[in-house]
Amino acid sequence: MAQPRAHFTTSFGFLMAATGSAVGLGNIWGFPTNAASNGGGAFLLVYLLLTFLLAYPALMAELLIGRERHANILTALEGLSEKPVTRFLGRLLGFGGLLTASLILSFYAIVAGWMLGKFLEPLAQLLALPTLARWLEADSLWRNGLLCLMFSLLTLAIVARGVSAGIERWSARLMPLLTLILVALIVYVLTLPGAIDGLRAYLLPDFSRIGDPALLLSAMGQAFFSLSLGVGTMLVYGSYLHRQAPALGTAEGEDPLPRLGASVALLDCCIAFVAGLLILPAIYVAQAQGVAVFGESGELLAGPQLVFQVLPNLFASLGQAKVWVSLAFFALMTIAALTSSISMLEAPVSALNERTPLSRDQSAGLAAAIIFAVSLLLIFNMASLFDLVINLTTRYSQPLLGLGLCLFAGWILFSNRRLAELRARNAAFGHSLFWRIWPWYVRLVCPLLILAMLVQSLR
Report which residue's Cβ sits closest to ligand TRP: 24
Residue 242 DSSP label:
-
Longest dimension (CA), the chain: 70
Q: How many residues does the chain have?
A: 459
350 lies in the binding site for ligand TRP (CB under 6 A): no
104 lies in the binding site for ligand TRP (CB under 6 A): yes
Quote the least distance from Cβ 135 to ligand TRP, whole Å.
Answer: 27
Of positions 225, 315, 372, 414, contacts ligand TRP by CB under 6 A = 225
For residues 144 and 160, give the distance between their C-alpha atoms in angstroms, rounded to a whole number.
24
Of positions 17, 18, 22, 120, contacts ligand TRP by CB under 6 A = 22
* CB hemisphere CA count around 255 (13 angstroms): 24
| Helices and strands, counts by H and E, the chain | 23, 0
226 lies in the binding site for ligand TRP (CB under 6 A): yes
The residue (of 340 and 375) whose beta carbon lies closer to ligand TRP is 340
For residues 53 and 457, give the distance between their C-alpha atoms in angstroms, rounded to a whole number.
19
Judged by CB under 6 A, the stretch of 16-24, 65-73, 130-138, 350-358 that binds ligand TRP is 16-24
Judged by CB under 6 A, the stretch of 9-17, 129-137, 338-346, 365-373 that binds ligand TRP is 338-346
SS3 content of the chain, % helix, strand, coil (to 5): 80, 0, 20
Quote the least distance from Cβ 238 to ligand TRP, whole Å.
Answer: 14
The residue (of 293 and 345) whose beta carbon lies closer to ligand TRP is 345
Of positions 11, 21, 51, 353, contacts ligand TRP by CB under 6 A = 21
CA distances (Å), 146 to each of 113, 195, 381, 383, 450, in order?
8, 36, 16, 19, 38
The residue (of 233 and 350) whose beta carbon lies closer to ligand TRP is 233
The residue (of 33 and 226) whose beta carbon lies closer to ligand TRP is 226
Residue 34's CB: how many other CB atoms inside 10 A?
Answer: 21
231 lies in the binding site for ligand TRP (CB under 6 A): yes
| 3-class DSSP state of 365 | helix
Quote the least distance from Cβ 292 to ligand TRP, whole Å.
Answer: 27
Quote the least distance from Cβ 300 to ligand TRP, whole Å.
Answer: 20
113 lies in the binding site for ligand TRP (CB under 6 A): no
Judged by CB under 6 A, the stretch of 23-31, 75-83, 128-136, 137-145 that binds ligand TRP is 23-31
* Rg, C-alpha atoms of the chain: 22
The residue (of 109 and 241) whose beta carbon lies closer to ligand TRP is 109
Of positions 38, 51, 72, 228, contacts ligand TRP by CB under 6 A = 228
Quote the least distance from Cβ 73 to ligand TRP, whole Å.
Answer: 11
Residues 51, 327 contacting (CB under 8 angstroms): no
The residue (of 22 and 314) whose beta carbon lies closer to ligand TRP is 22
For residues 345 and 156, give the distance between their C-alpha atoms in angstroms, rounded to a whole number.
8
| 3-class DSSP state of 294 | strand
Judged by CB under 6 A, the stretch of 178-186, 202-210, 226-234, 276-284 that binds ligand TRP is 226-234
Residue 344 DSSP label:
H
Quote the least distance from Cβ 175 to ligand TRP, whole Å.
Answer: 13
27 lies in the binding site for ligand TRP (CB under 6 A): yes
For residues 139 and 324, give the distance between their C-alpha atoms in angstroms, rounded to a whole number.
23
Quote the least distance from Cβ 443 to ligand TRP, whole Å.
Answer: 23
Residues 9, 171 contacting (CB under 8 angstroms): no
Judged by CB under 6 A, the stretch of 9-17, 18-26, 366-374, 450-458 that binds ligand TRP is 18-26
233 lies in the binding site for ligand TRP (CB under 6 A): yes
CA distances (Å), 73 to each of 69, 94, 318, 440, in order?
9, 5, 48, 22
Closest CA to 66 of 349, 401, 358, 409: 409
For residues 198 and 221, give the distance between their C-alpha atoms in angstroms, rounded to a whole number.
24
Give the dihedral sign, CA 247/9/228/72. negative
Judged by CB under 6 A, the stretch of 211-219, 239-247, 323-331, 336-344 that binds ligand TRP is 336-344
The residue (of 280 and 338) whose beta carbon lies closer to ligand TRP is 338
Q: What are phi and psi of 378, to 5 degrees?
A: -65, -40
Q: What is the DSSP string of 392-417?
A: IIIIIIHHHHHHHHHHIIIIIIT-HH
Of positions 13, 26, 122, 166, contacts ligand TRP by CB under 6 A = 26
The residue (of 167 and 285) whose beta carbon lies closer to ligand TRP is 167
The residue (of 22 and 154) whose beta carbon lies closer to ligand TRP is 22
344 lies in the binding site for ligand TRP (CB under 6 A): yes
Of positions 15, 16, 18, 24, contacts ligand TRP by CB under 6 A = 24
Applying CB under 6 A, which residues contact ligand TRP? Answer: 21-22, 24-27, 101, 104, 225-226, 228, 231, 233, 340, 343-344
